[in-house]
């Protein structure tokens, strides 16, 4: 399957910094490649990236994503951004259930499942994040936690589950420089693949990507695992050479 390398800029950037980063990425993206590539940018900058994509043909390959989406379709939800708005701005992806949103914004499994549903209703592929904390891993609960998180999304979305991208992001590996070993990550990806097989005949085609301190040095070994179909890249997505090296490792 075609791997997906998606950058998650998190709450970083400015009009000037984004333009510089995209300019540097454009040089590396001009040639066609064997991997899908996306950047998930802060909501206020979606229009800027959409406009730069229209202006610079070299960015044609780069797909646009948001970092979150409302669990409601429209109405009195101050501060929320709907899937329809993301669709308006050309978004192909929306991250849902990132551990930073689960942790700092109290997002529950059910809320994350509703967000995935809103995205799917607008033809936006939700990148559904699951992952265990260090305490959960040390207590031997990794499989139970990720299966519970995915089960909520399967339950709410039925056969549409075949349209998601799943991201395994061990919380203890995010932004810490500590990566799951390729074998540790593969073991969890295999569990998730099996769970998806029970829910959809298309599980073999569904991308399960890894996130958590993926970088230019460790990407190739992670991406070589049979059930690791790409990466969700935080810190390394803010440096064009690093992001492009990861992309090259995926191709
Ligand atoms: P990181 O972040 O690559 O900086 O660890 C990944 C993520 O949180 O999506």
Tokens representing residue 247 in the block: 């992309």
Quote helix, strand, coil % in the chain, to nearest 5.
50, 15, 35
- Structurally, how many domains does the chain consist of? 1
Taking the alpha carbons at both ends of the chain, their separation in whole angstroms is 11
CA of 2 to the centre of ligand 1 (A): 21
CATH number (domain holding residue 143): 3.20.20.70
Give Cα 171 to chain centroid, integer Å: 14
pTM of the model: 0.98
pLDDT of residue 202: 94
What phi and psi, each to the nearest 5 degrees, are found at residue 137? Answer: -65, -45
pLDDT in tens, 85-128: 999 999 999 999 999 999 999 999 999 999 999 999 999 999 99
pLDDT score for 178: 86
Tell me, yes or no, whether 30 lies in a domain.
Answer: no
Cβ of 214 closer than 6 Å to ligand 1, yes or no, is yes
- Give the pLDDT score at 45: 98
Residue nearest to atom 9 of ligand 1 (CA): 234
Q: Is residue 189 part of a domain?
A: yes
**Residue carrying the six token digits 């929306």:** 94
Domain residues for the domain of 154 are 62-71+79-250
């Amino acid at each position: 399957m075609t791997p997906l390398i998606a950058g998650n800029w998190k709450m970083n950037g400015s009009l000037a910094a984004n333009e510089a980063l995209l300019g540097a990425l454009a040089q590396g993206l001009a040639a066609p490649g064997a991997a899908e590539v996306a950047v998930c940018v802060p909501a206020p900058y979606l229009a800027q990236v959409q406009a730069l994509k229209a202006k610079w043909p070299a960015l044609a390959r780069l797909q646009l994503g948001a970092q979150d989406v409302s669990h409601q379709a429209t109405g009195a939800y101050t501060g929320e951004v709907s899937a329809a708005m993301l669709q308006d701005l050309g978004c192909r992806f929306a991250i849902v259930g990132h551990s930073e949103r689960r942790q700092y914004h109290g997002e529950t499994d059910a809320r994350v499942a509703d967000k995935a549903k809103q995205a799917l209703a607008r033809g936006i592929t939700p990148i559904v994040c699951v992952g265990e904390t260090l305490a959960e891993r040390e207590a031997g609960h990794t499989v139970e936690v990720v299966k519970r998180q995915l089960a909520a999304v399967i339950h709410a979305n039925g056969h549409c589950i075949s349209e998601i991208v799943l991201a395994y992001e061990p919380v203890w590996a995010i932004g810490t420089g500590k990566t799951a070993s390729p074998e540790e990550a593969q073991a969890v990806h295999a569990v998730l693949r099996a769970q998806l097989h029970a829910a959809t005949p298309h599980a073999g085609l569904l991308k399960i990507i890894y996130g958590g301190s993926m970088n230019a040095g460790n990407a190739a070994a992670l991406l070589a695992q049979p059930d690791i179909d790409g990466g969700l890249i935080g810190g390394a997505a803010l440096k064009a050479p690093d992001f492009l090296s990861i992309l090259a490792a995926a191709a």
